[in-house]
Every structure is written in C-alpha cells, then in structure tokens.
C-alpha cells in the first residue's frame, strides 16, 4: 500500500484518478495537485467516500521549489505527472531532489519549439540511478501500451522483430465540425509537424500528412490514416535490437483535416507570438481557448478507438506477422469514469505504470521507457483495468 501524488487534473488525470480509487489494494492515499485547484476539489468531492484517502493542493509545476516543498510535505511514494509535456523536467528535478519515483505519459517538449525528443529526459539517467529511484517514461497508450505490446511480442512471439507499424484509429464522433480529443495545443503541434519514420538506422522525414494509407480496422472498418512522427518510435528504435523500420499512423477524418488546413493557412496554429491590442499572444493558445474543452466531449462522443501494433519478424527461422490491439468504446468509458476513450486509453496505463512502480514490479534505478521492463504484469493489468487486448496472426499488412 502506498501514497501517490498526481500532478495535473485534466482529461487524462481524471481517468487515472478514478482508476487509482478503484485500485485500493495498491493505493491507499492520493494527493491531486494542479494549477487550478478547484478542478482537483471537484474530483475529490465526486470520489471521496472510498477507501483511498484524497487530498488536494494548488501547485505551479513549472516551479521546482514549489514542487519540492509539496513533495516534502506529503511524502508520496511515487509522483504521476499528468500535467503537460512542458513540466516534465521541473517535476523530474523535484523527484530527484526528494528521492521520489517518477512516472509520465509524454516526453518533454520546450514551449517555444514544437519538437519533442527523449534526449532531455534520458540525460537524467545517471542521476536517477545514483539516487536509487525509477523514472518510467511514456506510460500512456501511445507511447506506453504500444511499447509494452512490443516488449510482449519480442518476449513471446519473435526471435527478432524487423518492422513495426503502430496504428492509432479513432472512429469516435463528437458531433462538432472541429475539436481535438486531448489538449488542443499539444495535439495540433503534433499533427502540423513534419512526419517521420525510422528506417535502416536513420530518420526519414516527410511533409505533414504526406503519406496516406487506408486500413480496415477490426471492429471499426476502413479508415484513412496518415504517417506522423511519434515519440515511441525514438525509444523503440533504441530498445528493439535488429529493428529495420518503425512507422506510426493515425486516422483523421476529412472534416478535421480541412479545418486544420484552413486554421494553418490563416496562421491560427502558429506558436510564434503576435501583438494583439498591445500585448503578445500565441495564436495556437488563443485557438485552444475557443475550441471545445476535450473534457467536455465525453457525453457526446460515440464510436470506438482501435490502437495497436503490427509486427513483422522472425520466429524459429520463419517469417512471422503478428497484430496486437485494443478496441475501446467511447460511451462505455463515459459511463464508467465520465470521460471519452482518448483520455481513458491514456489514464488507465498511467495508473498501471504507477502501480507497477509502486508495488516494485517495475522498479530499477534510472530513467527507462516502458519496453525496458517485463511486459507480462502490465499486459495482465490491461485486461483487469479496462483495456483488454486482442491478437491476430494473419493481419492485413500496411504497404
């Protein structure tokens, strides 16, 4: 049994917090700390009364000293960072200073450059090792479960994996002409960036949305999907020996793409500050303010997500293909925890990662990605905590 400090109280955190409350044989105390404490208090009011004792606090996670003070006063066993990628380093600094295990779901990204990379966080490895604490990076769905699927495929189904295609389909319909399913600023920065994939030991860069395929997803049907750069490609390229190619595809509907193009064309997705009525504003942040809050999409979103990985490689000298995926229903998630499937598919693995660090099954000193641990306890937990997985040994292949 132990204490967890959750930082951030948005869409993903809300799901993780519900799941922590359900998992009361591992967690017995939780503090929810975020920039806007009223959101933490509202969740506490909703969830109080169970076995997990909840406290709340206001914290600015950009401020390491404030985080250190909070951690020292609460003494959590683990810190689960569900704020934004901009806060990863300040929170890691505070964990280092206080000797507390760290878990997150997205890699660090500087506010002023739309470029996410692991190099900043991997640079903490020696300091975490010397302090004897674990940092578990990217314990969401993608990154997160996709890395665990890879470790599982490597452990149980392949001698060598040569190709990985990660396919992320969202067939949910929220009824708005344009909205994003998670933080709009982070989402739009990701999809307007150049695409890239890993091939033969190097990055191949593409124009945004340059590579399109159609895939017939189990339980969803055929969808247009586009190649994007995605953060787990970087860690999997490092951690899967003999890998030749890793690609990531995400589905987008035509309405989303048309709106995005228009917003881009008029400059609304830019992160360069402009002067407006005498003060600097960042167009993308202004756009975020006028778009629907992703947390409000839950009640209106119907349909399913399907996220998984197709592997090609060698087993016992023979070529083999294997597909492992999860299908998640937006309305079922909403009925259970009041959120749509995008937050659910991230919040559940965040809780599982925190649980495995907390109970010691995934603890080793240093900074690690999910695929560097034994996948089996995580795979079992996915089935228990709401994200059961399915497999296929003769999947349709992406050309």
Shortest separation between residue 144's beta carbon and ligand NDP, angstroms? 5
Closest CA to 160 of 147, 150, 172: 150
Binding test (CB under 6 A) with ligand NDP, winner from 52, 78, 84, 379: 84
CB of 346 to ligand NDP, least distance (A): 4
Supply the DSSP symbol for 359.
T
When binding is defined by CB under 6 A, the residue of 4, 5, 6, 13 that contacts ligand NDP is 13
Q: Residue 234, interface with ligand NDP (CB under 6 A)?
A: no
**C-alpha count within 13 angstroms, C-beta hemisphere, residue 283:** 13
* Residue position matching structure tokens 């490597």: 154
Residue 48, phi then psi, degrees to nearest 5: -60, 150
Residue 221 CB, nearest approach to ligand NDP (Å): 23
Q: Least Å distance between CB 143 and ligand NDP? A: 5
Residue 46 beta carbon to ligand NDP: minimum distance, rounded to whole angstroms = 15
Residue span 163-182 as binding mask against ligand NDP, x where in contact by CB under 6 A, dash where not:
-------------------x
Q: Does residue number 24 form part of the binding site for ligand NDP (CB under 6 A)?
A: no
Q: How many residues bind ligand NDP (CB under 6 A)?
A: 31
Footprint on residues 266-325 left by ligand NDP (CB under 6 A): 294
Pairing mode, if any, of strands 78-81 and 2-7? parallel
User: Among residues 3, 18, 35, 223, which is the contact residue for ligand NDP, using CB under 6 A?
Assistant: 35
Q: Burial code of 141-166, b = ≥16 C-beta within 10 A, e = fewer?
A: bbbbbbbbbbbbbbeebbeebebbbb
Site for ligand NDP in 142-161 (CB under 6 A): 142-144
Q: Return all residues near 388 (Cβ < 8 A) that are at least 6 apart.
A: 326, 382
Residue burial 93-107, b: 16+ Cβ < 10 Å; e: rest: bbbbebebbbbbbbb
CB 58 within 8 A of CB 37: yes
Burial string for 35-63 (b: 16+ CB within 10 Å, else e) reads: bebebbeebbeebeeeebebebbebebbe
83 sits near ligand NDP (criterion: CB under 6 A): yes
Please, which of residues 334-363 interact with ligand NDP by CB under 6 A? 346
Which position among 76, 140, 313, 395 is part of the footprint of ligand NDP (CB under 6 A)?
A: 140
Which of 4, 5, 6, 11 touches ligand NDP (CB under 6 A)? 11
Assess 59 for contact with ligand NDP (CB under 6 A).
yes
Residues at the interface with ligand NDP (CB under 6 A): 8-13, 34-36, 39, 59-62, 82-85, 87, 105-106, 140-144, 182-183, 186, 294, 346
């Amino acid at each position: 049994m132990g204490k967890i400090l959750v930082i951030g109280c948005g869409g993903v955190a809300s799901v993780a917090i519900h799941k922590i409350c359900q998992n009361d044989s591992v967690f017995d105390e939780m503090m929810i700390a975020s920039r806007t404490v009223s959101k933490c208090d509202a969740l506490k009011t909703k969830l109080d009364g169970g076995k997990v004792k909840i406290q709340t606090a206001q914290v600015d996670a950009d401020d390491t000293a404030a985080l250190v003070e909070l951690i020292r006063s609460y003494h959590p066993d683990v810190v689960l960072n569900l704020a934004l990628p901009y806060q990863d380093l300040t929170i890691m600094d505070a964990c280092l200073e206080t000797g507390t295990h760290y878990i997150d779901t997205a890699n660090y990204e500087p506010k002023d450059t739309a470029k996410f990379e692991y190099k900043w966080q991997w640079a903490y490895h020696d300091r975490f090792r010397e302090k004897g604490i674990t940092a578990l990076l990217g314990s969401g769905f993608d990154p997160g479960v996709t890395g665990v699927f890879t470790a599982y495929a490597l452990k149980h189904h392949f001698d060598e994996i040569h190709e990985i295609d990660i396919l992320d389909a969202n067939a949910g319909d929220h009824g708005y002409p344009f909205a994003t399913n998670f933080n709009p600023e982070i989402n739009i920065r990701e999809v307007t960036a150049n695409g890239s994939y890993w091939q033969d030991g190097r990055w191949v860069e593409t124009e945004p949305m340059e590579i399109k395929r159609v895939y017939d997803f189990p339980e969803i049907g055929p969808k247009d999907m586009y190649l994007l750069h995605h953060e787990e490609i970087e860690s999997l390229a490092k951690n899967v020996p003999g890998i030749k190619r890793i690609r990531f595809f995400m589905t987008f509907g035509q309405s989303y793409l048309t709106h995005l193009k228009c917003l881009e064309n008029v400059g609304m997705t830019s992160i360069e500050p402009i002067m407006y009525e005498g003060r600097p504003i960042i167009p993308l942040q202004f756009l975020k303010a006028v778009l629907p809050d992703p947390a409000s999409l839950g009640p209106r979103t119907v349909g399913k997500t399907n996220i998984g990985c197709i592997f090609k490689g060698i087993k016992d000298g023979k070529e083999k293909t294997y597909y492992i995926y999860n299908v998640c229903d937006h309305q079922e998630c909403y009925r259970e925890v009041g959120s749509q499937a995008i937050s659910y598919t991230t919040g559940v693995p965040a809780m599982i990662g925190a649980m495995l660090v907390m109970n010691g099954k995934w603890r080793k000193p240093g900074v690690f990605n999910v695929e560097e641990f034994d996948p089996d306890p995580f795979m079992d937990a996915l089935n228990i905590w709401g994200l059961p997985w399915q497999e296929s040994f003769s999947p349709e292949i992406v050309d």
